[in-house]
Amino acid sequence: MGNISKDEILKIVKEKNIGLVRLQFVDIVGQTRNICLPVSQLPRVLDNGCSFDGSSIEGFVRIEEADMFLKPDLNTFALLPDEIKNDKKIARIICDAYNGNGEPFEGDPRYILKRTIAEAKALGYTFNVGPEFEFYLFDLDEKGHVTTHTEDKAGYFGFGPTDKGEEARREMIFELEKFGIEVEAAHHECGPGQHEIDFKYGEALSTADNAITVKNTIKKVAADNNLVATFMPKPVYGIAGNGMHMNMSLSDNSGKNVFYDESDPNHLSKIAYHFMAGIIKHIKGMTLICNPLVNSYKRLVPGFEAPVNIAWGTKNRSPLLRIPNSRPEATRVELRSPDPSCNPYLCFAVCLAAGLDGIKNKLVCPPAVNKNIFEMSDAEMVDYNIGILPLSLEAAINEFKNDPFLKDVLGEHVYAKYLYAKCEEWKDFSQHVTNWEVDRYLHLF
């Protein structure tokens, strides 16, 4: 909504007949949490915040340190479309988490992104991001249980005017616009039941807030249409996975895009090259943040059209980093590996920090690779010095441990909590007996 005051919020609450307000925040894995309160409590909360017990929140504090409070970011106040209880409407405000002593909580993902943005600001840069969300819409069965079934047979950019998913996607656009989120494009993706919604790029913090809103809205509209929306990276074997390509750029204090240089053959500035070099340097360790699930690595598979090749290029989609054709003010770097299961606050933070590391240390970017890497032999990959992303959660954990830079970016608290959670996830998966194993081995041995 832009800059808005406490008095303006209270005026809207009265005019719109709002009865409840949700105070939203996210845990370290990116799950939305909220505290719901009646509007009678809103003036107090807008002034003083809202206390809560953080001991049960993923990655927050221990029981003996449980007292925390949420401080609303007034600029994120928004009416929740079509949510009405007892003839009263519901609004939401996104919050920052604070310790009981009034200091920002170092484990709050939003704080980590804000801290990294401040570092960029000190260097004279604003970080702009435009994510592209892919997701599947599947049917519920007659008992309301989730399935991976869909009647949708449309392909890439396909059109099915009678398809439930097509209708739901149109409704999603309208609902997102009610939040003030500008949807730039929406279309059917490659897989049956797969869709993509892209919204306008913006400053990283507001874009991360919007990313959470987009995911929640897509899921709600799907449920209202008797569908389930999933951002799971690889929900079905043999069909396309869900990605979250990230378009990134830096602007200076005047709003000028500093990635553009007309005199360069690729129209890229030295700053852009250094930024890419920083991403390339840290991408293996960053993968645990950008691709956080066991399932993420069912999408990142060599030999298929997956963004696993650590290289950059301007003319094809096989490298990890791509420079889309664009106007000077829209020059950007597209990182193709993240998936939509990631925590956008942490993902944006590590990408920005890596890019700034490249800029501050004037890291040298390798030459562009404008051949189709998917068709290269192993020998050619070696000749071009093209590395590969980690191919399992375990490998990503090891790369994460091997890059101390990421501990500096995330802080000791989130680094330790996040690493522990991912190690436990891998341990649990490694000990779990899957249907694939039963089907393959039970009758043989």
Q: CA-to-CA distance for 403 and 223, rounded, in angstroms?
A: 41
The larger pLDDT score, comparing residue 372 to residue 130, is at: 130
Q: Assess whether pLDDT exceeds 70 at residue 54.
A: no
Long-range contacts made by residues 169-174, C-beta under 8 angstroms, separation at least 24?
169/137, 169/195, 169/197, 171/221, 171/224, 171/225, 172/197, 172/217, 172/218, 172/221, 172/222, 173/197
Q: What is the 3-state secondary structure (H, E, C) of 376-441?
A: CCHHHHHHCCCEECCCCHHHHHHHHHCCCHHHHHHHHHHHHHHHHHHHHHHHHHHHCCCHHHHHHH
CB atoms within 10 A of CB 27: 20
Catalytic option among 53, 82, 203, 380: 53
CA proximity to 232, closest of 295, 308, 305:
295
Instruction: State phi, psi for 229 to the nearest 5 degrees.
Output: -100, 135
The number of helix segments (H) and strand segments (E) in the chain equals: 12, 17
**pLDDT tens readout for residues 66-100:** 578 899 999 999 998 877 767 889 999 999 999 88
The mean per-residue pLDDT over the stretch 238-251 comes to: 94
Tokens of 158: 């396909």
Say how far apart CA 282 and CA 398 lie, in whole Å. Answer: 13
Q: Which of 101-105, 240-244, 372-376 has the highest mean pLDDT?
A: 240-244
CA distance 109 to 113: 6
Other beta carbons within 10 Å of 66: 15
List, in order, residues 6 or more apart from 14 with CB less than 8 Å away.
Answer: none
CA distance 316 to 324: 9
Q: Which of 15-24, 56-65, 89-98 has the lowest average pLDDT? A: 56-65
**CA 59 – CA 56 distance, rounded (Å):** 9
Set 175, 209, 336, 399: catalytic member? 336
Give residue 26's pLDDT.
Answer: 93
CATH of domain 115-436: 3.30.590.10
Catalytic residue flag (residue 336): yes
CATH for 6-105 (2.60.40.10, 3.10.20.70, 3.10.105.10, 3.40.50.10330) = 3.10.20.70
The yes-or-no verdict on residue 326 having pLDDT over 90 is no
Residues, the chain: 445
Distances from the Cα of 175 to the Cα of 92, 171, 204, angstroms: 15, 6, 22
Annotate 321-364 with DSSP letters as a single string: EE-----GGG--EEE----TTS-HHHHHHHHHHHHHHHHHTTPP
Q: Is residue 177 among the annotated active site residues? A: no
> Is 15 considered catalytic here?
no
Q: Which of 27, 73, 134, 209 is catalytic?
A: 134
Q: Which residues make Cβ contacts (< 8 Å) with residue 265, sequence separation at least 6?
A: none
Largest Cα–Cα separation, the chain: 72
pLDDT of residue 155: 72
134 part of the active site:
yes
* Alpha helical stretches, state H, 4-143: 6-15, 42-48, 109-122
Under 8 Å between Cβ of 204 and 129: yes
Residue in 152, 163, 175, 189 annotated catalytic: 189
Q: What CA–CA distance (Å, rounded) separates 169 from 225?
A: 10
Residue 251 has pLDDT above 90, yes or no: yes
**CA 404: distance to chain centroid?**
23
Q: Distance (Å, rounded) from C-alpha 284 to C-alpha 394?
A: 12
User: Is residue 145 among the annotated active site residues?
Assistant: no
User: Residue 422: which pLDDT band, with cuts at 50, 70 and 90?
Assistant: very high
Collapsed DSSP state (helix, strand, coil) of residue 172: helix
Catalytic site residue from 73, 334, 339, 357: 334
Q: Model-level pTM?
A: 0.94
> Is 151 one of the annotated active-site residues of the chain?
no
Among residues 27, 152, 196, 209, the one annotated as catalytic is: 196
pLDDT score recorded for residue 249: 96
Note the pLDDT of residue 365: 95
Domain-wise residue ranges, the chain = 6-105, 115-436
pLDDT of residue 63: 39
Is 442 in a helix, a strand, or coil?
Answer: coil
Instruction: Provide mean pLDDT across the span 380-403.
Output: 94
Each residue's pLDDT tens digit, 262-298: 999 999 999 999 999 999 999 999 999 999 999 999 9
Rounded to the nearest 5°, which phi and psi values hold at 401?
-65, -30
Instruction: Tell me the per-residue pLDDT of 150-192, one tens digit each, with 9 for 90 and over.
Output: 888 777 777 765 578 888 999 999 999 999 999 999 888 888 8
Share of the chain above pLDDT 90, in %: 72
Tokens 């390509």 identify what position?
Answer: 245
3-state secondary structure of 161: coil
Residues 113/222, Cβ–Cβ less than 8 Å: no
3-state secondary structure (DSSP) of residue 210: helix
pLDDT score at 64:
40
Q: Is 58 marked active-site? A: no
Strand partners, 69: 51, 98
Do the Cβ atoms of 157 and 191 come closer than 8 Å? no
Which is the catalytic residue, given 132, 139, 163, 166? Answer: 132
Identify whether 189 is a catalytic site residue.
Answer: yes
Catalytic residue among 317, 394, 413, 425: 317
